[in-house]
Structure formats: structure tokens, C-alpha cells
Amino acid sequence: MRFDESYSGNVFIKSHSDYKESQAVIYGMPMDWTVSFRPGSRFGPARIREVSVGLEEYSPYLDRELDEVKYFDAGDIPLPFGNPQRSLDMIEEYVDQLLADGKFPLGMGGEHLVSWPVFKAMHKKYPDLAIIHMDAHTDLRTEYEGEPLSHSTPIRKAADLIGPENIFSFGIRSGMKEEFQWAKEVGLQIFKFDVHKPLCDVLPKLSGRPVYVTIDIDVLDPAHAPGTGTVDAGGITSKELLASIHEIARSNVKVVGADLVEVAPVYDHSEQTANTASKMIREMILGFVK
């Protein structure tokens, strides 16, 4: 019997074997060195791959099949355990190379700090970059307990890099009062509690612009995604997140990269979080990679 790597669980389902011919590259960022509550998201990328074998190849939402997109699963970046700065440098260098090769980068985390070096790499190629951020948390702190490299800081770092007016945060329901005040003062738009309706209002304003989409799985209510490091009640449903991904896919924005982070499999024995994340990745592939 022939061994089919694309259905092995070692790579995301239907991954192509040829990097050079690929349009998109899926890669893992297995880092959780700075989490403030529950670690374990470094195991997220591997588990998302493993459960992807249970997915259908066809999306009835987008009327596309995975065979229509050539994507390559490059595996996880071998990040040095316990060394945040070196890990972030390696991620930035890695994404720099993907962009130089003309690939659409689709990352899986890992804690949300792994998105920060990706933002830097994307901004070098797309100076007019905008970021769509879906999350339970603002992630606008300058530091956490004295540490500027923290999973609570990536969106603040991004705001300092590309300008706060170019960041749009959805589903937010947790953060310090000072974070919300700062965002209001500098023009970073935070849409509290909801995603789909405000997103529909924002997308026309981003028409034609390069946009990076970053999704923290904890934007979902814990009932839909208990397997994450910092759960927060009052979130959206998986149906609403799917609708939001599809709204972006059908809009006129130019999605140039994306990631999904903070899946921590150890806290969800039912594996609904990893399975949900896997489906979101499928829809991002089919919706964002044109």
C-alpha cells in the first residue's frame, strides 16, 4: 500500500510535496515561553495538523476544494526553548524568506507574541500594511510584569510599527482600562465583543490594501474553544468566526498573510478546539489564497 503523506497527520491535509510550486506555505511557530497563565500552545500546530485528516476537502461555504490551492506544509520552525528573542528573530528571518520566494505565509501558533516578528516581515514588504486582529484580549500592553517580550504586547508593538490607525481589533472583551483608553486616544479601532457586523463595516475602507489577518483562538467563547491558555467568557461562536473569515475572503481587501494562534491542546480532552482551528485554517487557505 502506498503511503500518502498528505493524509498522514504529519502535514496539514492535502499539503503538496513541492515547495517551489506552492502558492502558500503553512508553518508552525511552537513557542509559549512568555505566557502569563497556562502554557501548552507550543503543541498547537502539531495537533492542528493531526486532526486535519478528519476534514472534508471541500468547503460548501466557498465552493472550493483544497486541490484548487497548492500549499506546502513546512512543519514547525525549530525554535530554541526558553529564548524569546532568538525565537522571534528566527520567525522573522523565516517569513522574510517566504515573502522573498513569493509565498503566502499562513502561520500556526504558539502564543500570540509569535505574530510580532511576522508583522515586521510583512511591513518590510508592504509598507501600507493594515492588520485585522480577532481576539478576546487587547494585547496592547507595553510590558507584562517588567517583560516587554510578552504575549500581551504584540498588537501594541504592531501599532508602534505601522501606526495605530492601521489596526482593527474585533471581539475584544478583556484588557486593562489603560489599554482601551490609549487605543481611543491614538485612533486604534477596538470593536468590543462582536466581530462579524463591525467587520462588514470596516472592510470597504480597506479595499485594495494589503491586509494581514491574525486570529487568536480565544476570540471564541470557551464553550467553543476551551483549549487555550487564557480563556475568557462572553466570546463569539465558531459560526460567527467562520462568517467573518468568509466576509474577508469575499471582500476587495488583499490578504497577504495570516495566522491562527494560542491553541493549547492539553486543556481540551474533546479536541474540539484543535478541530475548530483546523477547519478555520482550511477556510483561510481556500478564502485567502487566490
Please report, for the chain, the start and end positions of each structural domain, with discontinuous segments joined by +.
5-288
Q: Compute how many other C-beta atoms are within 10 angstroms of the C-beta atom of residue 11.
A: 22
Element of type H or E holding 215: strand 210-216
CB distance 97 to 50 below 8 Å:
no
Mean pLDDT of the chain: 96
| Closest C-alpha among 163, 157, 153, 233 to residue 193 | 233
Please report which residue ranges of the chain form alpha helices under DSSP H.
44-51, 84-100, 115-125, 154-162, 177-186, 196-202, 238-250, 272-288
Percent of the chain with pLDDT over 90: 93
Segment 39-56 shows an average pLDDT of: 97
Euclidean distance between CA atoms 246 and 52, whole angstroms: 19
Helix (H, G, I), strand (E, B) or coil at 58: strand
Given a cut of 50, is residue 1 above it in pLDDT?
no
Contacting residues for 26 by C-beta, under 8 A, at least 6 apart: 12, 15, 71, 72, 73, 74, 106, 107, 108, 281, 285
- Model confidence over 223-248: pLDDT tens digits? 999 999 999 999 999 999 999 999 99
- Furthest-apart CA pair in the chain: how many Å? 63
- Asked if the model's pLDDT at residue 287 lies above 60, the reply is yes
Region of poorest pLDDT, from 1-15, 55-69, 173-187, 250-264: 1-15
CB atoms near residue 241 (< 10 Å): 27
The CATH homologous superfamily for domain 5-288 is: Ureohydrolase domain (3.40.800.10)
What number is the average pLDDT over the span 190-211? 97
Cell reading at 276 = 475548530
Q: State how far the Cα of 77 lies from the Cα of 51, in Å rounded to an integer.
A: 20
**pLDDT (tens digit per residue) in 139-162:** 999 998 888 889 999 999 999 999
CB-CB neighbours of 181 under 10 Å:
11
